[in-house]
Amino acid sequence: MTYLAKPKFHHPNLPKNDLGYTHRDYEGTVSTLCAGCGHDSITAAIIQACFELSIEPHRVAKISGIGCSSKTPTYFLGNSHGFNSVHGRMPSVLTGANLANRDLIYLGVSGDGDSASIGFGQFAHALRRGVNMAYIVENNGVYGLTKGQFSATADRGSKSKRGITNTDNSIDLVAIALQLGASFVARSFSGDKHQLVPIIKAAISHKGAAFIDVISPCVAFNNHAGSTKSFDFVREHNEAVNRLDVISSRMPIEVKYDPGTVELVEQHDGTTIALRKLDADYDVHDRTAALGFLQSHAAKGQIVTGLLYMDKDADDLHGHLGTVEMPLNALNEKELCPGQAMLDKFNASMR
């Protein structure tokens, strides 16, 4: 960790977004994680994504649980709403917040321990309900804060730093998310921001439950030979199915790639995702095929990354429940107590 505050000086030619902010305006306080932690790269990617999307920081709620990953919301978007909740309980806190105020952008930040162990049930139900959020798991396969025990996402057969082999089967959060009906599922790698930043942007602009599993090497306890979540292993076994560019509604769409290799997907909020296919046969709109693809590659020891599934016509929890457009927390007495006549009418409908 670093004890110094990052100097306020910035590069004189730093680009500004539509709001006149530089990416530095999206930072939080300086990270207290270990030097070189993959989570810090994800933090930087979130900063870059929010900067590029010209998001007003006060429109974001960042909610986390417990663990190294769940500390990171302090390190980005210092001017946003934040809630550092109980271990594994981020999804329910986020769901509650989302129900109360549907107008905010929800970033759920969690780790493999927080989501695949203590909060596995919470994780499942938030996705199942289609809460409108970007759910990011910073997945390092290890319990870093308690000095390096295997987590539930550690691959069977991988070795701990002390040389012990993992005998438990691992949970693939991406596969589970697909099964549970998440309408946007992606996997990326903290060491590849060119892939990660557009995925985060696409997830934020997606309406519905968007889940991103980001493999994030733990430099202190899980970056050795024999680990399947180390920088070297992930780089060697990374099988990216596609790359994307997120084009905001204000920008003209200029795609320079060969026809047939690019698919344009329009989102609810007017943004367009330009999907550059690296694997020509891969179809991001086929949930069952995605599951098969994942499992066959996992069997070969490959880590499939990229945007793996998206339902462009997805709806969210508010859509399912038919709630009003106005955020529930903004409804006042006039809307909530429509009067005796309305009550009588309602009661009559129940008879």
Residues 31-50 that bind another protein (CB under 8 A): 31, 34-38, 40-41, 43-44
**Rounded Cα gap, residues 71 and 65, in angstroms:** 8
Nearer to another protein (CB atom), residue 24 or residue 129: 24
Window 174 to 193, contacts with another protein (CB under 8 A): 190-191, 193
Q: State in angstroms the smallest separation of the CB of 283 from another protein.
A: 29
Produce one character per residue of 274-305: b if its CB has 16 or more CB atoms within 10 Å, e if not.
bbbbeeeebebeebeebbebbeeebeeeebbb
- Token pair 């599934």 is found at 309
- Smallest distance, Å, CB 173 to another protein? 22
Q: Is 11 in the site for another protein (CB under 8 A)?
A: yes
Q: Does 30 bind another protein (CB under 8 A)?
A: yes
Query: Within a 10 A sphere around the Cβ of 160, how many other Cβ atoms?
Result: 19
Q: Using CB atoms within 10 A of its CB, is residue 309 exposed (0-12), middle (13-18) or buried (19+)? A: buried
232 binds another protein (CB under 8 A): yes
CB of 197 to another protein, least distance (A): 12
Residues 6+ apart with CB under 8 A from 95: 126, 129, 131, 317
Is residue 16 within the footprint of another protein (CB under 8 A)? no
Is residue 223 at the binding interface for another protein, with CB under 8 A as the rule?
yes
For another protein, the closer of residues 31 and 80 by Cβ is 31
Residues in contact with another protein, counted by CB under 8 A, come to a total of 35
Phi and psi at residue 139, to the nearest 5° = -100, 105
Residue ranges in contact with another protein by CB under 8 A: 1-14, 24, 30-31, 34-38, 40-41, 43-44, 190-191, 193, 217, 219, 223, 231-232, 235
